[in-house]
A and B are shown apart, each in its own frame.
Chain A
Amino acid sequence: QLQLQESGPGLVKPSETLSLTCTVSGGSISSSSYYWGWVRQSPGKGLEWIGNIYDSGSTYYNPSLKSRVTISIDTSKKQFSLILSSVTAADTAIYYCARTYYFYSYMDVWGKGTTVTVSS
Chain B
Amino acid sequence: QTVVTQEPSFSVSPGGTVTLTCGLTSVSVSTSNYPSWYQQTPGQAPRPLIYSTNIRSSGVPDRFSGSIVGDKAALTLAGAQADDESDYYCVLYMGGGIWLFGGGTKLTVL
Please report whether the interface of chain B is mostly helix, strand, loop or mixed according to DSSP: strand
The chain A residue sitting closest to B34, CB to CB, is A105
A60-B98, A63-B98 in contact; A106/B36 too (CB < 8 A)? yes
Query: Is A60 touching B101 in the complex (CB atoms < 8 A)?
Result: no
Chain A positions within 8 Å of B102 at CB level: 46
- Min distance, Cβ A112 to any Cβ of chain B, angstroms: 6
Chain A positions within 8 Å of B98 at CB level: 49, 60, 62-63
Which listed residue, B34, B45, B89, B96, touches A46 by the CB 8 Å rule? B89
Chain A positions within 8 Å of B103 at CB level: 46
The chain A residue sitting closest to B98, CB to CB, is A60
Bound-state Cα–Cα, A104 to B26, Å: 24
**A85-108 interface code vs B (CB 8 A; 1 in, 0 out):** 000000000001000110011111
> Is A83 an interface residue, CB under 8 A from the partner?
no
Q: Size range of the interface on B? A: 20 to 34
**B44-62 interface code vs A (CB 8 A; 1 in, 0 out):** 0111100110010100000
Please report whether the interface of chain A is mostly helix, strand, loop or mixed according to DSSP: strand
A47-B89, A49-B91 in contact; A110/B45 too (CB < 8 A)? yes
- Min distance, Cβ A43 to any Cβ of chain B, angstroms: 12
List chain B positions with a Cβ less than 8 A from chain A. 34, 36, 38, 40, 45-48, 51-52, 55, 57, 87, 89, 91, 93, 96-104
List chain A positions with a Cβ less than 8 A from chain B. 35, 39, 46-49, 52, 58, 60, 62-63, 96, 100-101, 104-108, 110-113
CB-defined A-B contacts under 8 Å, sample of 20: A46-B87, A46-B101, A46-B103, A47-B38, A47-B46, A49-B99, A58-B97, A60-B98, A63-B98, A96-B45, A104-B51, A105-B52, A105-B99, A106-B34, A106-B48, A107-B36, A107-B38, A107-B91, A108-B57, A111-B45
